[in-house]
């Protein structure tokens, strides 16, 4: 009970106070007079990192990947911030949902890491695991921040408001290098498997290390990382694709690696309203739609299409992947952050990209996933060059991961975001690749400091 109280207090301390600090730069939230009282024992630090998991659940683990999906060529929206994202008719602060990772992940992670360095008496096992978790969440934040904004401030320790006012933007290369380093260090500290369902392990960190390396186009460095996960993580493909999408499978399938955990106690209506339309359920808003070509992009015979997409009798688009887990008007589906299928497809992609030549091993890895979806093998003749290979990989990932928030990063990784959107009727230039830093953050710093 004592630890539960501490978790609640620390969560309020990290997150509840930020809404009152509009005059402060988000990189350096105000300090709290009683904060030091919570950083003395193993239990204090374990409670503190639980609050970071809570921050991850509230937006970075769910809202950010799904919001950025509207920037890609899969989904559009007819209302709210999501319409601004999909049409590029951006408001002054449209990107605030993404910038908020400074307060929800980066600041608390830095605070925990800094305090672990100076607090005596913390057991090495707790210090390692909590440090690894904090490093993962900081790396995750920077991975998404640079995907969305390009250049952003790079903060790796707790700083004062005065220091934040002088901190400019770091380049994409610098930010990605920090994310790679954070994930790599996290992997060295986290256990191979977690004893607590829903908590991170080393292979989760390695997976995001590989994703960040591939965003750098550092394919050769990503290959051994993905190979180790593929061979040693203990995860594997779920043999039957449709068996994954049940409440029971979320807790038992070896396919799932890292999830945002939901329950009846953690109301998930927001997710349901924004990405689900279930016939007869008046909690949903019926406002997301498929962009042109998404439904048609599935190959004939692909079982994933009708299990993922569809229309009700009134022609309203549905999300059939997450149409389970309803308890009254509460949605309890766990949100999948990382599946083994993604490891296998990233591995296939990196193997051929690293040598700039289509490799049979890549096709074998892809074909196992295609066969599960009811599709025939890809042959070498089907992918005669690397351009064709990239298209095949991206098509496979698109069919597999609709509603899982992967498409935006996939297109950015291959510099195809703008061309794919323009091919379906939009008219964007290269500025579409980045969101502007929110105006309310620019107003807090000297003119020009946050021009990205």
| DSSP structure string for 262-327 | -BTTB--HHHHHHH---TT-TT----EEEPTTTGGGSPTT-HHHHHHEEE-TT--EEE-TT---EE
What is d(CA 212, CA 222) in angstroms, rounded to the nearest whole number? 9
pLDDT at 275 over 60: no
pLDDT at 28 over 60: no
- Short-list 160, 139, 128, CA closest to 25: 160
Which pLDDT does position 240 carry in this prediction?
A: 97
Of 157-166, 380-389, 411-420, the poorest mean pLDDT is in 157-166
Which pLDDT does position 289 carry in this prediction?
A: 86
- Short-list 196, 184, 89, CA closest to 428: 89
Q: Domains along the chain?
A: 1-18+34-190+415-452 (1.25.40.390), 262-333 (no CATH)
Instruction: For the chain, give the percent of residues with pLDDT over 70.
Output: 85
pLDDT at 12 over 50: no
Look-up of token digits 């305090």: 115
Give a three-class secondary structure readout of 374-439: CCCCCCHHHCCCHHHHHHHHHHHHHHHHCCCCCHHHHHHHCCCHHHHHHCCCCCCCHHHHCCCCCH
pLDDT at 213 over 60: yes
pLDDT, tens digit, for every residue of 46-97? 999 999 998 898 777 778 998 899 999 999 887 778 889 999 999 999 999 9
Which pLDDT does position 62 carry in this prediction?
A: 77
pLDDT at 18 over 70: no
Three-state SS for 276? coil
* H runs (alpha helix) in 244-402: 247-252, 269-275, 303-308, 340-355, 360-372, 386-401
Length of the chain: 452
What is d(CA 428, CA 431) in angstroms, rounded to the nearest whole number? 8
pLDDT at 136 over 90: yes
pLDDT at 172 over 70: yes
Which pLDDT does position 446 carry in this prediction?
A: 86
* pLDDT tier at 20, thresholds 50, 70, 90: very low
Q: What is the DSSP letter of 37?
A: G
Three-state SS for 319? strand
């Amino acid at each position: 009970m004592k630890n539960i109280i501490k978790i609640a207090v620390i969560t309020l301390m990290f997150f509840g106070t930020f809404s009152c600090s509009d005059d402060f730069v988000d990189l350096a939230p105000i300090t709290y007079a009683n904060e030091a009282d919570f950083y003395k024992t193993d239990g204090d630090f374990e409670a503190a990192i639980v609050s970071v998991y809570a921050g991850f659940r509230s937006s970075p683990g769910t809202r950010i990947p799904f919001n950025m999906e509207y920037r890609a060529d899969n989904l559009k929206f007819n209302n709210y911030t999501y319409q601004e994202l999909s049409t590029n008719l951006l408001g002054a602060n449209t990107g605030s949902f993404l910038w908020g990772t400074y307060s929800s992940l980066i600041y608390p992670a830095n605070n925990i890491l800094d305090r672990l360095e100076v607090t005596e008496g913390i057991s090495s096992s707790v210090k390692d695991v909590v440090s690894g978790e904090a490093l993962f969440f900081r790396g995750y934040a920077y991975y998404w921040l640079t995907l969305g904004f390009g250049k952003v401030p790079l903060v790796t320790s707790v700083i004062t408001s005065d220091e934040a006012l002088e901190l400019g933007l770091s380049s994409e290369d610098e930010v990605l290098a920090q994310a790679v380093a954070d994930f790599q260090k996290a992997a060295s500290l986290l256990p191979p498997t977690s004893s607590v369902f829903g908590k991170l392990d080393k292979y989760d960190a390695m997976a995001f290390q590989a994703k960040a390396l591939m965003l750098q186009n550092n394919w050769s460095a990503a290959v051994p990382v993905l190979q180790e996960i593929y061979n040693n993580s203990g995860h594997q493909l779920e043999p039957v694709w449709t068996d994954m999408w049940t409440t029971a499978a979320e807790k038992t399938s070896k396919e799932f690696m890292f999830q945002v955990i939901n329950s009846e106690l953690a109301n998930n209506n927001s997710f349901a309203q924004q990405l689900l339309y279930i016939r007869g359920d008046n909690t949903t808003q019926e406002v997301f739609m498929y962009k042109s070509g998404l439904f048609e992009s599935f190959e004939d015979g692909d079982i994933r299409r009708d299990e993922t997409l569809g229309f009700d009798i009134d022609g309203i688009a549905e999300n059939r992947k997450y149409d389970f887990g309803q308890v009254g008007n509460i949605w309890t589906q766990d949100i999948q952050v990382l599946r083994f299928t993604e490891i296998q497809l990233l591995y296939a992609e990196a193997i051929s990209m690293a040598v700039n030549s289509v490799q049979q091993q890549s096709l074998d890895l892809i074909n196992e996933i295609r066969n599960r979806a009811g599709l025939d093998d890809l042959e070498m003749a089907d992918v005669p060059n690397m351009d064709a290979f990239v298209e095949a990989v991206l098509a496979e990932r698109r069919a597999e991961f609709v509603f899982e928030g992967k498409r935006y990063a996939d297109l950015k990784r291959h510099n195809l975001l703008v061309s794919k959107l323009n091919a379906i009727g939009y008219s964007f230039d290269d500025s579409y690749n980045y969101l502007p830093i929110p105006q309310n953050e620019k107003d807090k710093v000297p003119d020009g400091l946050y021009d990205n």
